[in-house]
Each structure stands twice: as structure tokens, then as C-alpha cells.
């Protein structure tokens, strides 16, 4: 019965346990979006009429009644099949020790726990620079431009104004052009206010990149707190080192390009009272970034 339902729901017979458990995410992922689940359930055909009564008798958690003659089987059902396979003797008797039953419960619980924590684990991985994908090069450039400008206190923060956006994104793009060849920018993405690149940087750096709230009379401000500067540069160096195709010299050239682009428009920042760069600090920032890059690359 369960085997029939499994093939009906997933379109294939059971296989390796780990692979089958992964298939169950199609319907049982606790962080799946509601509209996606509704679409999948709508596409699921009702089970044959002669199986519906038996499926209903098995009941939750082995079989979930999804309405309209549709029934789902998932983690518990697949684990039960595994138990039956291991502990059914040659005469068809199921003789499982109590420890195996407890292991069954723990296994199901562990799967759900892992899935429930997926979003948290993903967020922590991004925050620590261990995510599956590297940080977008333009997002790295935005953070470096803030550091070059010494925007590390509320008093020296960058305001999210259109003219200021142009300066920061010009500098960030100059860095990204050297680091990445697959960069795309739209007009909205080039804006600090609502732009993708700043959003990406905030996702990665969390509380190490401050973006204040705005109102009709108050401009939103962006800065990297002084206490987090070394940690942020370490993060950027570690993230850049994950790009196998770039070298320390590419980092140096990209940084120099960023600084040149930044200085070419710094008068715009000065007109807004937001120009705070000091050349000596910029040199130290470059040295620290390259050192962190080389240190991380040596570990790989």
C-alpha cells in the first residue's frame, strides 16, 4: 500500500533512503512557500479509488489526507518501509527491537529539525562567509567604498541620496570590473536606496553594516561601525579568496581602480558634507585587505 502511494506521489519507486528523504521536501519542507505547495498539490492526481479507503485508514503521520482523493506519504512512511525491509523475516513477520523503533522516531525528528533550521543555518553561513555562493563583486565594492570614505560612525555615514549613489556605485563598479566578468547592473541596482548590491551586503554582513531608517525629513545613513572594520575586511578578504580565478595583484588593481573612481567624484560627496577619505588610511585598508586575502588563500 505505502509502496503504491510512494510511486503515485513521487513518480518513481523507492530507492536509496537518503535520496528518497530528499524527495520528501517536495511536500514536507517546513520553509516552502505556500503558493508553491498549492501548485504542487493541484498537480497531484487523486489516488485510484480502490486505494483511498486503505490510505485513509493508515492515517497521519504515515499518510496525509490532502483532500480531493489526494494522499501524501513522506518521511515517516519512507522510514517505516526501511524498518520493514530490515526487520521482516523470511516468514513475513515483522520483528523489530524497541531500540529500532526509537531510532525511527529520532531519525524522523532529526530530518525535520534539519529542515526547520535550514534558513537559520543558511543565514549564519552567509554571515560567516561560508555560504554556497560568493558575495557579489559590486557588493564587496560598495563596502570597500564606504571604508575608503571612512564612513565608520553616524557622523561620517553616507546618506542614501541619488548624487551620493553615483559616487559609491561608480567606485564599486570599478572594483567589480576587475574582479568579475559577469556583472550586470540596472538603474535600480545602482541605487543605495532599494538597490540589490546594498541589500546583498546587508544580508552578508548583518549588524556589521548599519543602514538607518529614513522618513520624509530624515535621510537613511549607511556606515560600517569602527569596532567592526577589521572583522569586515577579514570577511571580504576571505570571501574574495574563494574566487579561484583572481590573484593578489587583481585585488590590488581592483582596489586602486575603486579609489581612482571614488576620488574622481569625491567633490560630489564634499558638496553634501560626506567626504572623509584620508590617503594614509586608504593605504592601510588596501594592505589589510590583501593580507587577509593571502592569508585565506594560503589555508585553501
Q: Could you read off the pLDDT of 117-149 as tens digits, one per residue?
A: 766 776 676 666 666 678 889 999 999 999 999
Residues 120, 110: contact at Cβ < 8 Å?
no
Which residues, listed in sequence order, are joined to residue 188 by a DSSP beta bridge?
A: none
pLDDT, position 188: 45
| Average pLDDT across the chain, whole number | 86
6 pLDDT higher than 60: yes
Instruction: Please tell me the predicted confidence (pLDDT) of residue 130.
Output: 65
Which string of DSSP letters, residue by residue, matches 32-96?
A: --HHHHHHHHHHSPPPPHHHHHHHHHH-TTTEEEEETTEEEE-HHHHHHHHHHHHHB-TTS-B--
What b/e readout covers 39-77, taking b as 16+ CB neighbours within 10 angstroms? eeeeebeebeeebeeebeebeeebbbebeebbbbbbbbb
Q: In what order do the strands lie in the sheet with 158-159?
A: 158-159, 221-223, 210-211
**Residue 71: beta bridge partners?**
65
CA–CA separation, 127 and 235 (whole Å): 9
Instruction: Output the pLDDT for position 129.
Output: 64
What would the grid cell of residue 248 be?
A: 593578489
Model pLDDT for residues 70-126, shown as the tens digit of each residue: 888 888 998 888 888 888 877 788 877 888 888 888 888 888 888 877 667 766 766
Task: Compute the average pLDDT of residues 172-199.
Answer: 68
Q: Which residues contact 228 (CB under 8 A, 6 or more apart)?
A: 207, 208
Grid cell listed for 126: 552567509
Strands 70-73 and 158-159: unpaired
Show the cell assigned to 300: 585553501
The distance from CA 123 to its chain's CA centroid, rounded to whole angstroms, is 6
> Mean pLDDT throughout 195-224?
85
Element (H, E) at 158: strand 158-159
**Residue-range domain boundaries for the chain:** 2-116, 130-299
Rg of the Cα trace of the chain? 27
Would you state the pLDDT for residue 193?
Answer: 45
Instruction: Quote the percentage of the chain above a pLDDT of 70.
Output: 90
pLDDT tens, 16-64?
Answer: 888 888 999 888 888 777 788 888 888 888 888 888 888 888 888 888 8
- The phi-psi region of residue 59 (left if phi > 0; otherwise alpha if psi is between -120 and 50; otherwise beta) is left
pLDDT at 187 exceeding the cut of 50: no
Mean pLDDT confidence for 147-158? 96
Q: How far is CA 250 from the centre of its chain?
A: 26
| Residue of higher predicted confidence among 221 and 213 | 221
Q: What is the pTM of this model?
A: 0.62
> What local confidence, expressed as pLDDT, does residue 266 receive?
93
Beta bridge partners of 264: none
Instruction: Name 260's Cβ contacts closer than 8 Å, sequence gap at least 6.
Output: 174
pLDDT (average), residues 207-226: 87
With the CA atoms of 158, 162, 168 and 169 taken in that order, what torsion angle do they form, in degrees rounded to the nearest 10?
A: 150
pLDDT band at 233 (very low <50, low <70, confident <90, very high): very high
Q: Residue 35 burial (CB < 10 Å; 0-12/13-18/19+)?
A: exposed
Q: How confident is the model at residue 190 (pLDDT cuts 50, 70, 90)?
A: very low
Query: Which range has the worst mean pLDDT, 159-168, 244-253, 261-270?
Result: 159-168
* CA gap 292, 230 in Å, rounded: 10
List the grid coordinates of 150. Answer: 571612512
Per-residue model confidence (pLDDT) at position 103 = 84
Amino acid at each position: 500500500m505505502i509502496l503504491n502511494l510512494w510511486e503515485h506521489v513521487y513518480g518513481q519507486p523507492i530507492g536509496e533512503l537518503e535520496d528518497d528523504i530528499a524527495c520528501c521536501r517536495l511536500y514536507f519542507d517546513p520553509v516552502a512557500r505556500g503558493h508553491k505547495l498549492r501548485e504542487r498539490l493541484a498537480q497531484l492526481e487523486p489516488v485510484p479509488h480502490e486505494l483511498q479507503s486503505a490510505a485513509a485508514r493508515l492515517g497521519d503521520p504515515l499518510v496525509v489526507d490532502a483532500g480531493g482523493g489526494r494522499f501524501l506519504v513522506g518521511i515517516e512512511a519512507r522510514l517505516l518501509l526501511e524498518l520493514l525491509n530490515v526487520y521482516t523475516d523470511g516468514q513475513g513477520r515483522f520483528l523489530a527491537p524497541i531500540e529500532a523503533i526509537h531510532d525511527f522516531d529520532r531519525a524522523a525528528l532529526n530530518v525535520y529539525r534539519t529542515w526547520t533550521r535550514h534558513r537559520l543555518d543558511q543565514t549564519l553561513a552567509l554571515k560567516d562567509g561560508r555560504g554556497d555562493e560568493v558575495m557579489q563583486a559590486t557588493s564587496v565594492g560598495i563596502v570597500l567604498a564606504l571604508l575608503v570614505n571612512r564612513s565608520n560612525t553616524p557622523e561620517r555615514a553616507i546618506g542614501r541620496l541619488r548624487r551620493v549613489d553615483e559616487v559609491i556605485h561608480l567606485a564599486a563598479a570599478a572594483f567589480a570590473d576587475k574582479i568579475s566578468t559577469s556583472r550586470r547592473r540596472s538603474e535600480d541596482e545602482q541605487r543605495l536606496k532599494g538597490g540589490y548590491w546594498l541589500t546583498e551586503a546587508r544580508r552578508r554582513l548583518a549588524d556589521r553594516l548599519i543602514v538607518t531608517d529614513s522618513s520624509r525629513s530624515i535621510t537613511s545613513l549607511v556606515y560600517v561601525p569602527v569596532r567592526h572594520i577589521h572583522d569586515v575586511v577579514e570577511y571580504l578578504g576571505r570571501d574574495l579568496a574563494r574566487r579561484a580565478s583572481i590573484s593578489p595583484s587583481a585585488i590590488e588593481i581592483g582596489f586602486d581602480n575603486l579609489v581612482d573612481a571614488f576620488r574622481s567624484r569625491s567633490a560630489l560627496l564634499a558638496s553634501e558634507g560626506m567626504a572623509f577619505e584620508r590617503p594614509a588610511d586608504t593605504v592601510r585598508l588596501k594592505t589589510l585587505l590583501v593580507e587577509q586575502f593571502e592569508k585565506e588563500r594560503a589555508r585553501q
